[in-house]
Amino acid sequence: MICILLVAGHGTVLETQIKNDVTGLYGQLTGVPKALLPGIGGKKILDFWWETVNMRQLFSEVYLVTNADKYKHYERWATANDFPVENVVNDGSTTLEGRLGAVADLELAIRSRKLQDDIMVIAGDMLCADQNFDIAQVLRFFRSKPGELAIYYELEEGEKSSSRGIVEVCPETHRISRFLEKPQEGVTALRLASVVFYCLRKATLPYLSDFLTLQPQAQDRTFGRFWEWIINEEKLPVFGMKLPTGFQLIGQVGLSDYTKWLAHYSAQQQQCLAKPITCRSYARVGLMGNPSDGFNGKTIAMTISNFWAEVTLMESQTLVLLPHPLNDPTEFGSLQDLYCISRKEGYLGGLRLLQATCKKFYQFCSKQGIALTKQNFTLKYDTNIPRQVGLAGSSAIVSATLKSLMKFYNITESDLPKPTRANFILNVETDELFITAGLQDRVVQVYEGLVYMDFSKQLMDEQGYGDYIPMDMSSLPPFWLAYLSDPSDSGRIHSNVRQRWLNGEAEVVEAMKSFAALTDQARVALQGMDWSRLAQLMDENFALRRSVYTEDCLGPGNLKMVQLARQFGSAVKLPGSGGAVVGLCLDQVRLVEMRKSFQEAGCVFCVIVPYNPSGTIGTNSQD
């Protein structure tokens, strides 16, 4: 692979405005080419690109194409920066009117130096917001695709699509299906902008001279016109890779553009360095339909603010995952202490969740054509979600970690939509850590609040995810939660039910359909605020689960909590895989009495405080 940096533009507007500036602030920059102006952190714009591509293991040669007017500037720069002077190509132009055009400059370098290899071409005078992206990741993605590669980014607020080449990219194949060169306002709603940052295969290089033959005028010899022709007319396969960053100072820009974007990107960088990122995800309770989410059923679940997992990410020199002092113990008071902790909490803490999420995140971005920066970070977590009681503590840590990574690397909602995010979290647990799980927990922790979920086979097959509908939380009854202090006898909830379902056993198949029907009825009850009917449905949900999974599978601890709740006339069911129960008691006096009985039985009891992403709490939040 050979890299060619293009810096042959004639920045007449910017150069003239610097020369005529009356403030005196930019006098030292008079006559300096745009690529040699100070960039982020005081580093010259071209210095950044040279440092990015100056890697012998990736590029056999790097060339620089400039014009005759600025040639001496770049010759001096090459000498000072250990750039081979003989690789500086002079296109002979001295004015904007006499320019060759960007495509002609590239073709000149290839032809004059007799280059016969794949080519990466970059505009060396672009200001890039991200000073740490991984160029090797770009090359790996290019080599994985049967065609050319064009880098694009998502326009920032205020940037007009009419100033850029706009691409339409297939989300599955990443092939660019359409290229619009500086479309007029209103022509397209697309916000994905291509920049002069491309990879071309050796076999495609002859198309450059063909294009130049078709475009004799220099003003038409732009890469925007070239890609419009290649993609829209010639139908060559060109793929897109997103850089989650911004690019500016493209083409003819003025002094105000330079100062504005330099200040904007510099402030962004300082903010990232100074401020840790903290993200939180909440425990959930399954109110209806669980555990049918793993069996193409329907469920309703809710996030609760009583319990949460929190992840903090800070930029650092190396990538560090910090163990939690309680959940990832490495030091014990004695052998007996180790025995007791291991017996109660098992051997697997949260550190493996952080590591698996980071690994899967990198893998996802690489596959999706998103080039990440080479920034490192330190990641730590905290959680108060009780372990092994079925409140989705593991997925909460994964969800919070994913939120932090997305924020750190500027991954947007369009890059990783909510339905895909839920699948991602499930895959971390099932594929990487072999945790038996369904989608319900991950969906409700991504959407947050009260969510109705339909996992029908048709939906899952057609779109890869179900229908997820947030529900109104403005007026909810006082749900309560109780869980075992020692969940060691909470039972092996999933047992052999999955295999029976896969085998088509009628009892299990019909049970999962019944769970779905109960969920639809519960949705109507919630919308109509019919709490008595909702309580009845919760009891029916547990009875159905009990019949399918059997008492031996549910475990004595869960059954004891259910029996205790029913003594006080409360509806009750399992909110997750076992170790906890969720209930609805409409008699406030009996609710207080029930709390005392649970506490006396050695259980932890609390009234649920729903977590509403809108910020309002619509339930009785008694203590």
CA dihedral 80, 85, 90, 95 (to 10 degrees): 10
Res 21: pLDDT: 87
Predicted pLDDT at 260: 84
Catalytic pick from 118, 441, 454, 539?
441
- SS3 call for 167: strand
Cross-strand pairs, 6:
65, 123
- Write out the DSSP string of 356-371: HHHHHHHHHHHHHTBP
Determine contact, residues 419/465, Cβ cutoff 8 Å: yes
Q: Based on the number of CB atoms within 10 Å of its own CB, is 367 exposed (0-12), middle (13-18) or buried (19 or more)? A: exposed
State the 10-residue block means of pLDDT for the chain, 623 residues long: 95 84 86 90 90 94 96 96 96 94 97 97 89 87 97 89 92 95 89 95 97 96 96 97 84 82 75 80 97 95 97 95 90 92 82 96 94 92 93 96 96 94 96 90 97 97 96 94 75 70 94 97 97 98 95 91 97 95 96 96 96 66 39
65: nearest Cα among 44, 43, 92:
92
Name residue 584's beta-bridge partners.
479, 571
Model pLDDT, residue 119: 98
At 59 the three-state DSSP class reads coil
Widest Cα–Cα separation across the chain: 93
Whole-number Å distance between alpha carbons of 490 and 495: 12
CB 544 within 8 A of CB 518: yes
Active-site residue 21, yes or no?
no
What's the Cα-to-Cα distance from 288 to each of 30, 394, 536, 561, 603, rounded to whole Å? 70, 21, 11, 18, 23
Can the peptide bond before residue 183 be classed as cis, meaning omega within 30 degrees of 0? no
- How many CA atoms within 13 Å lie on the side-chain side of 143? 9
Are the beta carbons of 198 and 103 closer than 8 angstroms? no
Pairing of strands 580-584, 479-484: antiparallel
Output the pLDDT for position 451.
98
Please give the pLDDT value at position 308. 97
Q: Cα–Cα distance between 540 and 560 in angstroms, integer? A: 17
Burial tier of 471 (Cβ tally within 10 Å: 0-12, 13-18, 19+): middle
Residues sharing a CB contact under 8 Å with residue 353, sequence separation 6 or more, in sequence order: 381, 394, 397, 398, 401, 428, 433
What is the phi/psi pair of residue 61, to 5°? -150, 150
Burial class of 498 by CB neighbour count within 10 A (0 to 12, 13 to 18, 19+)? middle
How crowded is residue 511: how many other Cβ atoms within 10 Å of its Cβ? 22
Q: How many CB atoms lie within 10 A of CB 481?
A: 25
